[in-house]
Structure 1
Amino acid sequence: MAARASPLLGYTALAIFILWRVSVRFKRAIGPQRLSRYRAPITFAIYGTILLAVIWSLVPRLGLIAELLGFMTIGAALAAVALRKTLFEAKPGSLTYTPYKPIALSLATLFLARLAYRLIEVLWLAPEVQRSAGEFVSSPLTLGAFGLLTGYTLWYTKGLAAWRRHVIAAKHAREALKSED
């Protein structure tokens, strides 16, 4: 029983972390969000690190890396659509945006459903089968859900950062014109 407790504890900790992040994603997808200058660098650092770790674990299986990149491309295309439908608002002292809900919620739900199924499979359907973290990462279904969500998040964050830079550059240009007068 002691040998079984360690993986169970790890899966439980992972499930708690993932549920927390998915709940944050659902909250962000529902209403207006304040855009800070730290959002993009933090998102790129976290998702980039996770993405590199996943790709590193897939190096011996180049077909799975190609699959992941293909799903990331589809996720990025969905983000481009969502960015066109996002409501941006620049107020004095605050930049806000309201995400396009259908795409953001669908991707978060898809990823959560895949993780929930995998946890049910590991913990209840076939707990006697020895599994590794590498097996979970190399599952085509998991890679598809992860690729869609990662591609979407990185491209959407890139779009948010570009909008923020554009608004700030316009503000500086207006201030420069006022100072010349």
Structure 2
Amino acid sequence: MAVHASTTTTLIVLLPLLAWRLRSRYKRLIGRQRTNPYRPWVVMGIYALLLGLLSRAVWGQTPALQALAGGLGAGWLLACWAWRQTRLEPTPQGLYYTPHTHLGIALLALFLARIAWRVVEIIWLLPESQACLHAFVASPLTMAVFGLMAGHNTGYALALFLWRRRVLAARRARESAP
């Protein structure tokens, strides 16, 4: 079956971006990381923007919105569990953390598998009339998987931000005390 030119062009443009983001996400899942004062805000901002755009794209499709909300809730619960598994290291050289590698990689693999399956569905399995970007994101399963990843990443970023702020405030208090 032939694919619409706009869908093919969109996929050609988005796949390198997706590959770059997945690679950078994978690098942040492995080993000890130094905290950054801006990264949690960037993560939360990007996911808020993406969630807003995706919600708007599927507005009126109750199953997709419910799946997104369920995925977000489950992602926040996973973030809470992963945070308890994280090794935190406030050192004189900086604040470091080692994330729960297995959960992060499992979420990344789940998201990648879902994206790959949706590409296969849209390009080869769906009729031409349904091959569009809207069909790509309108699936409740896709929305649930994205919600799970977004909930986990934003919840983890928020926990990291709060921990960093608390540790730095305690250091300032100790330094200012006589």
Give your verdict on TM over 0.5: yes
SS of residue in 1 equivalent to 2:71:
helix
Sequence identity of aligned pairs in percent?
38
* Paired residues of 1:121 and 1:127 also in contact (CA < 8 A): no
* Paired residues of 2:87 and 2:97 also in contact (CA < 8 A): yes
* Paired residues of 1:33 and 1:96 also in contact (CA < 8 A): yes
Stretches of structure 1 lacking an aligned partner (at least 5 in a row): none
The 3 A distance-change label for structure 1 pair 124 and 150 is same
The 3 A distance-change label for structure 1 pair 20 and 62 is same
Q: Any idea what the Cα deviations from partners look like across 1:51-101, whole Å, max 9, x if unmatched?
A: 011111222123422221111111110110100000111122411111101
Q: Which aligned segments of 4 or more residues in structure 1 are displaced greater than 3 angstroms?
A: 3-6, 124-130
| Post-superposition offset of 1:25 | 1.3
Say what the alpha-carbon RMSD is for the aligned residues: 1.7
Q: Any idea what the Cα deviations from partners look like across 1:113-152, whole Å, max 9, x if unmatched?
A: 0001111222344474442222221101101110100000
With CA pairs under 8 Å and 6+ residues apart, which has the higher RCO, 1 or 2? Answer: 2
User: Which residue of the partner structure matches residue 114 of structure 2?
Assistant: 114
User: Which residue of the partner structure matches residue 48 of structure 2?
Assistant: 48
* Paired residues of 2:75 and 2:151 also in contact (CA < 8 A): yes
Counterpart Cα distance in 1 of 2:140 and 2:61? 12
Counterpart Cα distance in 2 of 1:63 and 1:140? 6
User: Is 1:78 paired with 2:78?
Assistant: yes
Stretches of structure 2 lacking an aligned partner (at least 5 in a row): none
Counterpart Cα distance in 2 of 1:121 and 1:135? 10
TM-score by length of 2: 0.92
Amino acid at match of 2:146: F
SS of residue in 2 equivalent to 1:31:
coil
User: Which residue of the partner structure matches residue 29 of structure 1?
Assistant: 29
